[in-house]
Amino acid sequence: MKPAFDIATLNISWPPILPLIVVTLAAIAVLLVGVHVDDDDSEALGWLSLAGLGIALVLSFAMLGRQEQTFAGAIALDNYTGYFYIVILLAAGVTVLMSLDYVRELELAGAEYYALVLFATMGMMLMAAAGDLIIIFLGLETMSISIYVLAGLSRRQAKSSEAALKYFLLGAFSTGFLLYGIALLYGATGSIKLEAISLALRQHPMGQNPLLLLGLGMLLIGFGFKVAAVPFHMWTPDAYEGAPTSVTAFMAAGVKLAAFAGFLRIFVVHLWPARAEWALVLWVMAALTMTAGNLIAVMQSNVKRMLAYSAIAHAGYILVAMTAGGPSAGTAILFYLLGYAFTNLGAFAVIIALARRGETHDAISDLRGLAARHPLLAAAMALFMLSLTGVPPLAGFIGKFYLFAAAIEAGYVGLVIIAVLNSVMSAYYYIGVIVAMYMDEGGVTITPLGARPALVAALAIATTATVVIGVYPGPYLAASASAFTSAYGARPVPRAPTMIPMP
């Protein structure tokens, strides 16, 4: 009698998960070594983490160009996976660099901090590599649980505990929607494999299938929470403000990268045949997310809360391109996420530079007169604010240009007009930060940057990337196009879509 389960059918291939294994082993090594290291001397654990991330990064580059499915289709190895592996690992590496001195100053538990960053990174990479819905869920939960704990790691600060609790409660609620959506999608299509779901939708249109419609709605709620789209954005400002600033930077860059990696692969690539059922919902979410994020950001006096609402607005810009769909939009989103990650990491690195002796100094008033005392630091912050505004020739401008161009190509001119108006509105609060630094007096005294070389290195990487990606976008656009196209595998890439008419 043939066994019901044959391990040979798994088609196991280890190269696709080697970077995941390396990051996991690095996290375990940090925990084991950390037992013998005091929290005051945790910098060595940060360097150990960087070594693990560096090895995983080399392995990720080595995998580019390969196309295969392994573990019975649960893991997909393609340039899409490799692209997100690389960008997520770079974001994690910059986060660790800016944390080396900050963790010690805040008296955080070093071993737990760096191990959780690595485990969260592994979860993010797993989401990017997922070939079925269960792997998406496992990666999401591995990432989320690690981030919940990191947000509350500063136990002496009530805001940190509050941020972790709010993030956890709302995150657990959204996870239930996501898992229920997976179950309903399985009921409608008979599979959790993304390729099989896509095939079922192409062969048997299910526009009126209630299981499919409910499943799509539940998945949109789950991913809407993770990308901080309205009306699922409530956790973002409190979590960003209360978490340690290095964790906030990781949330703004890494969590956004991983969430959109899964969101894009599921909806724009594999649920494309059901686009008529979800495009209108994304249209509304994009418009609300952009507008609410920018309107509320204008009223903020805390830089971290302002950047939280800015992150909400930028999620709306990405949803504009997701609504359009197609290869041009996918390429634009991947390119935009690259520039956005480095720009936000740099902005939060400047906020870390303002911190001193456990005081966060994250109010906009704390930035007053910064240009007179620390001109290079002020110039870097101004650069990041201008990039987020969308001023040429920085990464933010080029990214927005391609996002909006893809939406216009698909016929969503009205949505692009809303996006452009929102970009103009965002200039008010971004330039307000620059005005405080260059035209106001006062502010706070900060620790000299010469005493924090790792933070200077993180700032240099973020600044250079923000400029280079904008001034010389060609190679990064080509990499983004190759990555997104590879996500379709052997299937033909769909042509540029046409607009779904509004009811």
pLDDT digit string, tens, across residues 104-139: 887 787 788 999 999 999 999 999 998 889 999 999
Element (H, E) at 273: none
Element (H, E) at 69: strand 68-70
pLDDT for 166: 84
Token pair 């900060």 in the structure block, residue: 446
Secondary structure class of 109 (helix, strand, coil)? coil
Share of the chain above pLDDT 90, in %: 46
Token pair 């939708």 in the structure block, residue: 201
Phi, psi (deg, nearest 5) at residue 402: -75, -35
Residue 398 domain flag: yes
For the chain, give the mean pLDDT.
Answer: 86
Structure tokens given for 250: 């990781």
Token pair 């006062």 in the structure block, residue: 442
Contact 203, 261 (CB under 8 A): no
Residue 472 domain flag: yes
- What number of other Cβ atoms are within 10 A of residue 184's Cβ? 21
- What number of other Cβ atoms are within 10 A of residue 174's Cβ? 21
Between CA 105 and CA 221 the distance in angstroms is: 38
Q: How far is CA 141 from the centre of its chain?
A: 15
Greater confidence, 163 or 467? 467
- 412-455 residue pLDDT tens: 999 999 999 999 999 999 998 999 888 877 766 676 777 788 89
pLDDT for 358: 63
Contact 361, 102 (CB under 8 A): no
For residue 501, say if its preceding peptide bond is cis, omega within 30 degrees of 0: no
Contact 253, 84 (CB under 8 A): no
Nearest Cα neighbor of 326 from 117, 488, 438 is 488
| Prediction pTM value | 0.92
Element (H, E) at 488: none
Contacts of residues 32-38 at CB distance under 8 Å and 24 or more positions apart, as own/partner, are 33/111, 34/110, 34/111, 34/112, 34/114, 34/115, 35/111, 37/110, 37/111
Between CA 55 and CA 247 the distance in angstroms is: 22
Q: Would you say the C-alpha torsion 377, 382, 388, 390 has a positive or negative sign?
A: negative
Q: Would you say the C-alpha torsion 170, 171, 176, 181 has a positive or negative sign?
A: positive
If pLDDT is split at 50, 70 and 90, which confidence band does 270 have?
confident
If pLDDT is split at 50, 70 and 90, which confidence band does 210 have?
confident
Contact 440, 310 (CB under 8 A): no
Beta partners for 359?
A: 356
User: What is each CA distance from 160 to 8, 78, 163, 177, in whole angstroms?
Assistant: 48, 38, 5, 26
Q: Which domain holds residue 342?
A: 7-486
If pLDDT is split at 50, 70 and 90, which confidence band does 1 have?
very low
Secondary structure class of 3 (helix, strand, coil)? coil
If pLDDT is split at 50, 70 and 90, which confidence band does 492 have?
low
DSSP per-residue codes, 231-261:
TS-THHHHHHHHS-HHHHHHIIIIIHHHHHH
Q: How far is CA 50 from the centre of its chain?
A: 20
pLDDT for 2: 47
Token pair 């505004």 in the structure block, residue: 389
Residue 500 domain flag: no
pLDDT for 10: 57
CB proximity list for 396: less than 8 A, separation 6 or greater: 339, 340, 343, 386, 387, 388, 389, 390, 466, 470
Residue 276 domain flag: yes
Residue 137 domain flag: yes
Between CA 126 and CA 199 the distance in angstroms is: 23
Q: Give the Cα-Cα-Cα angle 385, 388, 393 (nearest 5 degrees).
A: 95
Contact 138, 218 (CB under 8 A): no
If pLDDT is split at 50, 70 and 90, which confidence band does 382 have?
very high
Residue 446 domain flag: yes
Inter-axis angle of helices 303-324 and 256-263, to 10 degrees? 20
Q: Would you say the C-alpha torsion 233, 238, 243, 248 has a positive or negative sign?
A: positive
What is the pLDDT averaged over residues 266-291?
Answer: 89
Share of the chain above pLDDT 70, in %: 92
What is the pLDDT averaged over residues 329-349?
Answer: 93
Q: How many structural domains are present in the chain?
A: 1
Contact 127, 136 (CB under 8 A): yes
Q: DSSP secondary-structure letter at 487?
A: T
Greater confidence, 489 or 415? 415
Assign residue 357 a region (left: φ > 0; alpha: ψ between -120 and 50; beta: otherwise).
left
Residue 9 has pLDDT above 70, yes or no: no
Nearest Cα neighbor of 296 from 226, 249, 236 is 236
